[in-house]
Structure 1
């Protein structure tokens, strides 16, 4: 294994896994496997990139750090030469959140002098310019993400957001440098490290009280507005022990090993998986609601009333009965709602209780469906995806072809594999759900 990824949620893990698997167009990527949590045994010898999917985005920061370090140690034990910490391309993290603390801990563990921070994913409209994160033509805090029920993003300046989370200094390299290519960016990154080393020497000479680990790493927010920028970042980071960002930052990394002749760059393959299908959706994003509305025009759809779930009126039996009654028609069940109704339910029952109840509902439903013969499952929403794959306890998933931007087909191991597609809330076109079910059939 050459590259190891620590992802803070399950859909984000599959997103970066397919980026590594496909690589740069015409060149190919790495043989990639996604692991559901930190594995208890070694990886298969043929795996070139391993992605450890955690559910650490919304847990307390100390737990996220502990889980991420455990994943890092396992990946290092598999021989990984480079570690990526993957978070959402909309930088989902409050001021008390986990991105800064996890980067700090991983940087200290790996001895990284500087760490690139770049959540840009231009294919999905996420770009970083002058240190600010944009969604399409809107600043992050004007994109709708300011209303996110778990991680409301109210500041688009990544330097400010990250500095409120990290004890390390945060600097910025602008697009004007990145656009000049990997050599110019490499020089800029080297200059950052030299300046940081000079500052540390001065602080040490002045008998600073900062302590041996304070300011040991510089976090570098790097602009990117195109895939060419991401390729330049990947090449400039070819020797970096730690890289962080959205899935886009991984785009150019397989090239480094292909250019060295260490891997062949073979494309991912998608096997055929017959059997019953189900679509389980828990995202409340605007894109997901549009996808559900489109799916409902031609396929059976059942809405789950969260209040009924909390009161015990609706349980897994009802969901399973609906899906099995509509086999062959791509049946979909969902708990999505507009942000206002979601907030009302959370205020009534408590956010954590609502999340736990929905996780249990979808997880148990998936278990019962698979036990009854369902072999193709499409899941919408990061939290829901985490609940489903955790409940199914599949261990490892082989990454297949890309269904839509950032969403691969994935397959469990064994003689009767289960095919999965895990979609982040804002990903996919309007007809995603029907196309995903068809793609998983092979």
Structure 2
């Protein structure tokens, strides 16, 4: 494989065909032409495809993103990235739906609906059975209706359970825990009815309800599903339990995301997301807000504990390294499913960017000092020096300042937020607020999660 050893930006230049011996933009070992110098017809074809896809995205964004998600459905990182892109474009992503989903991602009514093939453990035969039944007899009206109509030899109890957990029945009954408790009773009831139908016998409940062998005055399904057995009423799963099951079955948070509620406030402290890590320079200091998916503990040759973290945000998943000294300090905060704010540095290793954790804290514990500034205070050199001196005096010893400081500049009907560098973060928020207020800088504590 030929590698480019030097490159130089020359602005707009001519496109060179393969075979050019000199005057091209790339220099390689032994005078070879770089491997990404294409012939002109090849370059033209790429340009044409680029134009087509750009046109589709601009004019048919819903259909384009559904097709893009389907085409990359086997790549978890890309799907998560494109889901984030949809959210930024204002395109809602809905979880699988027993009455709306097809095999793949489907554009429908201004939304993209997850396909049934995205549900782990849901085989092709089960999907085909569900779609054929729905197409033949119309939408499902309840869990009982679903189990009664689909082929239970193909759609197993476990299959229906997976559909419940990932939200496929939410439009029929949004209490997922109630459906899970009902399932064993409903599935047995539906199996009994299927067995009776296969032998040509009527079910006792049907006979009483008039739906089996009914006379001309009764509708075919009258009272049929009034007889479906139900478990005792029970409260729904907690939101985090719902999301954990969705993640387990789909590979993503879909109906909601633990970080979505703090997305706007998190951008104040963490303007960089995980999908942008590859763009960062070596030794760049970053701050990211993430969900901790897993902690893989390791022991160094010296016997010290360290960890590899599997993390994700709204855009993608990644790994982060916690070396022994840092691990000893923050290990109690490293709980699976915790929402963390991580301060880290970027290092390159084997042509890959690596996140090296310096510090971490649960977002629920993160507080910010908000300093109200007039336009005059923000632009006057003397006032800015006064503010700087107060913050430096409140930062404590080196690396002791853990409380971020945000300037709020109010001008007319607009408000601008300014994030102060970490060297101006304070050690004690209460003392810092008192010092700021005594110097006529109105200040308050603001939790990150509020």
TM-score range, shorter chain: under 0.3
With a CA cutoff of 8 Å and minimum separation of 6, indicate the structure with the bigger relative contact order: 1
Please report the TM-score for the alignment, with normalisation by the length of structure 1. 0.23
